[in-house]
Structure 1
């Protein structure tokens, strides 16, 4: 049951002790908020003691409520100075708390990973995990792709490829995902991009790499839908789009002869480093298809069905 504050002193103001008593806080707390500038004084007594008006009680209660949410003093001051600042402050604190929780969940999974491994594995895993920031950053992977991709590729395509190729660390990772992410980070940090052939995005010696990458993006999206539906590699729009992208880059057209030339070229382009990259990426985000898995599906479709659809009978049961 709440009680109304008692009468103020004869001058209509409270001493610091009286305000503390009405607010059910210590004198030290009132002094701290006063010294911080959050609780202005209404004046001083003839003896130089702090005096507060009745409005200070509600302000002090508001300050206490905001502080129970662990809002820093600077943020409390924003709310007190601007009535419309509370929503922004709350949103900012939620973002910050989300980041802190993600970092804690990452640390928990990393510690569990170290706890569950053998003594022989521990030193290597500790080295891998120690190289990853907390919360984990994808900067090394993004930098790797910027070096691998053609230098004159339009910025919009570079951004789109990086967004699709770089797996984001899970919000609530398992130890297996932490290990895969750490290995992926180490792989891209140590790799020499000048020696890499990045599999599904290899810049073939065509005259129009932008056409190739634009077409591949569409083909991978179509193949991703096929994978999500559990369909095996087969002729169709995804494969046609895939071949058309390569044909456009070479100023050619889809034809039986072009497919016969393209198939061994793509098979030879399979690179162990990139295969490992896509395997690790798939472990980090197992619920998502990757560019690598889409490329593998399309290459299998091309290998198993080398003729354009105009040259073969339409498949049944599709």
Structure 2
């Protein structure tokens, strides 16, 4: 059975001019021509047209479609590549929608709108590079701090809330703050340990937090045993026999950790990653620093 171009158009649901265009382009060649020069097509032409229409609706260009029809490339490979491209577009559109929603809800001023637009122009890969550059500076190549690095990595979702957008915009300023980078790098270089179990800041938190919660004064006699235990534990961790020098070293670490920018980074990180708000550690650092100075 063969069909005229009009019959082929009816069976495929396409306009006659569209079928003629595809035929002239060689995508749907006729099997024969009548003595009057009219083109005739078979059932295979119907199938080719259906495939062409589907691929065009999926935004494939005619050059790629021709290669698929000629079996120069596998349809599965083309589908996989375009699926990934669409995934990138979807992520971008979700971010744009989130930005427009935030602007509509808050009536953002032109300066903030420009900042949001700058965010929208950054691809996921570019955002990752910005984060990696910051973390590379802070942690260098210390494998023992890999877990700490992972916990400090922000992951802006594809469809962020207005709060997550705000947090990301503020975080990008910290990521590019050279003094903040330098101070965090100095803090990590003061960690002479491997693994997180011996983290001196975590040890301080575990021992001093109950005292702070209980309202114990860092200069009281009751605080002395806690400070002694904390200092002895730290001295053993860093193999420091002189307790006075160990105290000075621990004080330096805590004063660096007390940087309000560090605490703000952790707050923004929790918002972006959808985590519970972090505990405010500044009171614990303040208590321990005062207790250590009192004991020295």
Task: Return the TM-score normalized by structure 2.
Answer: 0.65
Task: Choose from 243, 249, 265 the match for 1:277.
Answer: 265
Structure 1 gaps, min length 5: 1-6, 9-13, 207-211, 224-231, 235-242, 307-318
TM-aligned CA deviation for residue 81 of structure 1? 4.6
Task: Choose from 187, 197, 202 the match for 2:174.
Answer: 187
Matches within 5 A, 1:93-242: 93-117=82-106, 122-132=109-119, 133-136=121-124, 137-150=127-140, 153=141, 163-189=150-176, 191-192=177-178, 196-198=182-184, 202-204=188-190, 212=193, 214-216=194-196
Rounded to whole Å, the distance in 1 between the matches of 2:128 and 2:275 is 19
TM-aligned CA deviation for residue 167 of structure 1? 0.9
TM-aligned CA deviation for residue 177 of structure 1? 0.7
Rounded to whole Å, the distance in 1 between the matches of 2:198 and 2:33 is 76
What is the alpha-carbon root mean square deviation over aligned residues?
4.5
Q: Give the length in aligned residue pairs.
A: 258
Task: Choose from 38, 43, 54 the match for 1:54.
Answer: 43
Rounded to whole Å, the distance in 2 between the matches of 1:245 and 1:15 is 89
TM-aligned CA deviation for residue 69 of structure 1? 4.1
Task: Choose from 56, 75, 81 the match for 1:67.
Answer: 56
Structure 2 gaps, min length 5: 203-207, 211-231, 292-296
| Contact kept in structure 2, 1:148 and 1:198, CA below 8 Å | yes
TM-aligned CA deviation for residue 202 of structure 1? 1.9
| Alpha carbons of structure 1 residues 245 and 83: separation in structure 2 relative to 1, 3 Å | farther
2:13 maps to 1:24: yes
| Alpha carbons of structure 1 residues 198 and 34: separation in structure 2 relative to 1, 3 Å | farther
More helix by share: 2
- SS in structure 2 opposite 1:180? helix
Task: Return the TM-score normalized by structure 1.
Answer: 0.61
Q: Deviations over 1:48-106 (max 9, x none)?
A: 65443332122222322343444444554455455994444444444333332322222
Rounded to whole Å, the distance in 1 between the matches of 2:191 and 2:53 is 67
| Alpha carbons of structure 1 residues 26 and 303: separation in structure 2 relative to 1, 3 Å | same
| Contact kept in structure 1, 2:68 and 2:75, CA below 8 Å | yes
Rounded to whole Å, the distance in 2 between the matches of 1:245 and 1:43 is 90
TM-aligned CA deviation for residue 283 of structure 1? 1.5
| Alpha carbons of structure 1 residues 195 and 35: separation in structure 2 relative to 1, 3 Å | same
